[in-house]
Structure 1
Amino acid sequence: MAGKSLSAMPGALRSRRPVRFIGTLAAVMAVAGVSACNTGSVLDLQPAVDVGSTSAVPAGSGMQALVPSNPYMTAAYPRFDRPLSSPDQLPADEVSCRRELKRLRVSYTDLAPINDGGQCGIDHPVKVTAIGNIEMKPAATLTCAMAASFASWTRNELTSAARWRYFSGVKSIRQGSSYSCRKIRGEGVLSEHGKGNALDVMAIELNNGKVIDVRKPGLFAFRERALLNTVRADGCSYFTTVLGPGYNYDHRDHFHFDIKNRKSGYRACR
């Protein structure tokens, strides 16, 4: 074949097939909600979700999308994380924190350090999949400290409020964003999401099948409003920032919880 030109080769041997394959792969990835980053590495595949819409999942797929409407939020749908190869090398405070996670019955995986440039990243991230019998949908990538704070709030406040108001346990928590390298809109300051210190809750699913949307409930949704007001107020004992519907337009459809370290000790609970 060395003496033959490309145009003289049989159609089956021409180089068009790889091009069609790449196009097909791109189409499959688009349907799955995944796009490749600039690095070109398979391990760097990241979510490709239109965060300005709630219809990121293809019609007819049978899947239900729950995506933040804030264009500065990115849905935390599955990223290709690398497990930590040597958990024994963790600092003492991180080891202690993981003991607390186990005490709180948190199902998690230690991940390799995340460094996305600048201030974005987590030195010792964990990927939380469940808190006891409560599933995290999707799994959340956080610092251990944030994971422990959220687990404590879930077990002590959320589950108690659900049993009191609905006589039901909590089946799952639907979160819209955990670790995400981005700035706060209009401020140019790195969001606590970029440090793994924040989590956004979109909805709460109960064991009895009831799904409580965090968005401001209707006028006559008394039980729903009471539960959301309770868990929101109680969150101020576990987080340094609690924002949600009614605070501003960007938080109209979710609760934002974070553990930002402020020198003054000030807590923003709104």
Structure 2
Amino acid sequence: MKFRLIADQRETFPIRIMCDVMGVSPAGYYAWRGRPESPRKAANRVLLTKIRRSTRTTIVLGVLGLLGLSSLCRGVEADVQPRPSLGAASRQIPLPVPRPDMKSPTPSDMSAVPKLVPSPSVLSEDDTSNHCLADLKIAGAQFSPTPSDRLDGRCPVISPIDIISLETPSGRITFPGKPTFNCVFALQLAKWLSNVAAPLVKILAGNDLVTLETGPGYVCRMRNGDTFQDAKLSEHATGNAVDITSLGLANKRQIGIAAVADESNPDRRLLTALRLTACGYFTTVLGPGANAAHATHYHLDLGVHGKSSNYRICE
């Protein structure tokens, strides 16, 4: 399972670093990758291909239906059916499609043309928010809109939500504090937890991650507790940050983030791995050792440093 996690994340993190974090050798990883495919794995791969084909078909049919082009659905269904392989001699070159009549359309012709969906570059803020909320549901998150009385007019938040739980391939993770985030940040947090954090906990701690203890997420304040006149807004002020204080496992054991500073603590390896991987998903990662303000928790945010989001602060 360790090698599988490394293979899944090899486009995000260097293989040598992941091998070191997971306690395996690069040679062992490459030997695992070079093994012949087992019959079960081959069967799973075929099944996954069929599932993906079916999903794509459903999406296409749904879009055609929304555009009022249901008459084309039969053609789509026929197009995605597996075709028998043909020998080179029996293959036929399809005839070109006749060019349409180029006469000017009449008003009655134009009324039948479906309305075009605007491109993402011209979507309104409401459209963008709805897309994000839909993606968050697909990611397995359970959440609710943040009550307006919990928001401060000095610190507006785009699509504020209170996250309740997250369904991951490794099991459900609940958020006892129901922290408040903007939708984009909540989606990125969900991806990190599902793709990396939950599998790491299962492998290195031997138990499923079932709870994530955090701060409130959204707090209308300036950085480092400064006054509004003297400093910049904190990322917490826009729901763009989380403070993780501890991890709750299925066996009721709690792992405090502060333990990463103790070199003799057996959980240090797991907490270090979480810290390193978070740097691939967030632009700011601060924790014990960075400064006194972050001695007991991991602070993760998506703040932009400089003129782009390429620069990262990982301490």
**1:220 alignment partner AA:** S
* 1:243 paired residue among 277, 280, 286: 286
Task: State yes or no: 1:131 paired with 2:166.
Answer: yes
Task: State yes or no: 1:174 paired with 2:213.
Answer: yes
Aligned to 1:213: 256
1:89-129 per-position Cα deviation (integer Å, ceiling 9, x unaligned):
971211111122112110001235675233x1213211101
Aligned to 1:184: 223
| Corresponding residue SS for 1:123 | coil
For 1:181 and 1:235, locate their aligned partners in 2 and report how far apart those are by CA, in whole Å: 24
| Identity fraction in percent | 29
Aligned to 2:152: 116
For 2:185 and 2:313, locate their aligned partners in 1 and report how far apart those are by CA, in whole Å: 16
| Corresponding residue SS for 2:223 | coil
For 1:110 and 1:99, locate their aligned partners in 2 and report how far apart those are by CA, in whole Å: 13
| Corresponding residue SS for 1:148 | helix
Tell me the number of residue pairs that the alignment of Structure 1 and Structure 2 aligns: 180
| Corresponding residue SS for 1:209 | coil
**Mapped contact 1:165–1:227 kept (Cα < 8 A):** yes
CA distance 1:258–1:235, change in 2 (3 Å): same
Give 1:89-100 correspondences, 5 Å limit.
Answer: 91-100=126-135
- The Cα RMSD (Å) is 1.9
Task: State yes or no: 1:148 paired with 2:173.
Answer: no
More strand per residue: 1
Aligned to 1:232: 275
Of 142-151 and 122-131, the range deviating more from structure 2: 122-131
For 2:286 and 2:292, locate their aligned partners in 1 and report how far apart those are by CA, in whole Å: 11
**Mapped contact 2:163–2:175 kept (Cα < 8 A):** yes
More helix per residue: 2
Kindly name which structure, 1 or 2, has the bigger radius of gyration based on alpha carbons.
Answer: 2
For 2:302 and 2:206, locate their aligned partners in 1 and report how far apart those are by CA, in whole Å: 30
In the alignment, structure 2 segments of 5+ residues that lack a partner are 1-123
In the alignment, structure 1 segments of 5+ residues that lack a partner are 1-88
1:13-48 per-position Cα deviation (integer Å, ceiling 9, x unaligned):
xxxxxxxxxxxxxxxxxxxxxxxxxxxxxxxxxxxx
Shift of 1:216: 3.4
Shift of 1:215: 0.4
| Corresponding residue SS for 2:288 | coil
For 1:90 and 1:127, locate their aligned partners in 2 and report how far apart those are by CA, in whole Å: 19
Shift of 1:183: 0.9
**Mapped contact 2:182–2:239 kept (Cα < 8 A):** yes
Shift of 1:248: 0.4
Aligned to 1:54: none
| Corresponding residue SS for 1:178 | coil
For 1:177 and 1:232, locate their aligned partners in 2 and report how far apart those are by CA, in whole Å: 20
Shift of 1:161: 0.8
**1:171 alignment partner AA:** V
| Corresponding residue SS for 1:91 | helix
| Corresponding residue SS for 1:159 | helix
